[in-house]
Amino acid sequence: MTRAAPPDPTSWLAPLHRAHPLVGKIWDTRAGRFVDAATVDAALGEARYVLLGETHDNPDHHRLQAERVRALTASGRRPALAFEMLDTSQQARVDETRARAPTDPDALAQAVDWAHSGWPDWSLYRPLFAVALERGLPLVAANLPRAQVRALVQKGPDALPPETRGRLGLDAPVPEDVARELREEMRASHCGHLPESLLEPMALAQRARDATLADRLLATAPDAGGVLIAGAGHARTDRGVPAWLQRRAPGARVASLAFVEVSDALRAPPDESFPYDYVWFTPAAEREDPCASLRK
């Protein structure tokens, strides 16, 4: 068994659980063993599509993502870098700004009004955009626009044109176990306060977002492939973006790496059913309890 070197606690940015025994270690889920960063980077380099799943407000996740992109492009490979944080309606602004200010990531932030986007502070994501501009990577706005997400929740599949539903595969029946898991995920992510009538519509919207992220990778990635920056839920191999990619491009190699915050309850690496190819354990960020206001 190969074990990662003990991490230097001072190198971490997130403050919680830095001394946790799993922090800094990388787990190969399929092989059931710890591996080092070089092994992971080599595996990601062999994949056409790479998923880097994050917790959005954890600065260590973005630092490690940027390092993986640097490693992937060190030999001259130029994959597309796609972002959940940018939706398809913003692609024109991304392209125009890049043509006007090709080396300035802050110009991109201004063009897409990141400060009012609802995503965590730009400083967390800036290193990723800086790497993309430095290495000349195509930048892809990959998410479904929020207006379309709202329409899906309100109107169901008919909110999308038939051609779009067909291309994304949203008309295909969903296995009951997958549908049930998605409903439970929606319930948990809304702290148990989501009305029962909204569980299925919200699950549909989540499926549509996963399908759109996969569609954008398939449509925009050059021969060098693509890398998706997204929340860890989208990087799940069982029903997230990797599953949609495998469905539409069954011969393509897909690799999923999730950066996972440790906790007091997480004392051992997961078994082979954990839905990622690799898991990189990090300290946890401090944040307010997202359910506190709902409990009131």
Q: In the structure, what pLDDT confidence band is assigned to residue 3 with cuts at 50, 70 and 90?
A: very low
- Name 58's Cβ contacts closer than 8 Å, sequence gap at least 6: 14, 259, 261, 282, 284, 285
- Please write the tens of the pLDDT for every residue from 155-180: 999 999 999 999 988 888 888 888 88
Say what percent of the chain tops pLDDT 70.
95
Looking at the predicted structure, is the pLDDT value of residue 137 above 60? yes
Would the CA dihedral through 257, 260, 266, 268 be positive or negative?
positive
What number is the average pLDDT over the span 249-276?
94
pLDDT on residue 294 = 63
Distance from C-alpha of 80 to C-alpha of 28, rounded to nearest angstrom? 25
Looking at the predicted structure, is the pLDDT value of residue 6 above 60? no
Looking at the predicted structure, is the pLDDT value of residue 295 above 90? no
Distance from C-alpha of 204 to C-alpha of 214, rounded to nearest angstrom? 15
Distance from C-alpha of 20 to C-alpha of 102, rounded to nearest angstrom? 41
Q: How far is CA 46 from CA 25, 141, 202, 238, in A?
A: 21, 24, 35, 20
Of the chain, the end-to-end C-alpha distance in Å amounts to 48
Q: For the full predicted model, state whether its pTM sits above 0.85.
A: yes
Looking at the predicted structure, is the pLDDT value of residue 189 above 80? yes
Distance from C-alpha of 202 to C-alpha of 162, rounded to nearest angstrom? 20
* Beta strand pairing call for 80-87 and 254-261: unpaired
pLDDT on residue 293 = 65
Looking at the predicted structure, is the pLDDT value of residue 234 above 90? yes
What number is the average pLDDT over the span 276-294?
89
Distance from C-alpha of 32 to C-alpha of 282, rounded to nearest angstrom? 19
Distance from C-alpha of 174 to C-alpha of 35, rounded to nearest angstrom? 35
Mean pLDDT of the chain: 93
* CA neighbor of 146 nearest in space, from 85, 236, 232, 83: 85
3-state percent breakdown (helix, strand, coil) of the chain, nearest 5? 45, 15, 35
On whether the CB atoms of residues 170 and 160 are closer than 8 A, the answer is: yes
Q: In the structure, what pLDDT confidence band is assigned to residue 1 with cuts at 50, 70 and 90?
A: very low
Instruction: Return the structure tokens found at 113.
Output: 């009004």
Instruction: Return the structure tokens found at 66.
Output: 């940027």
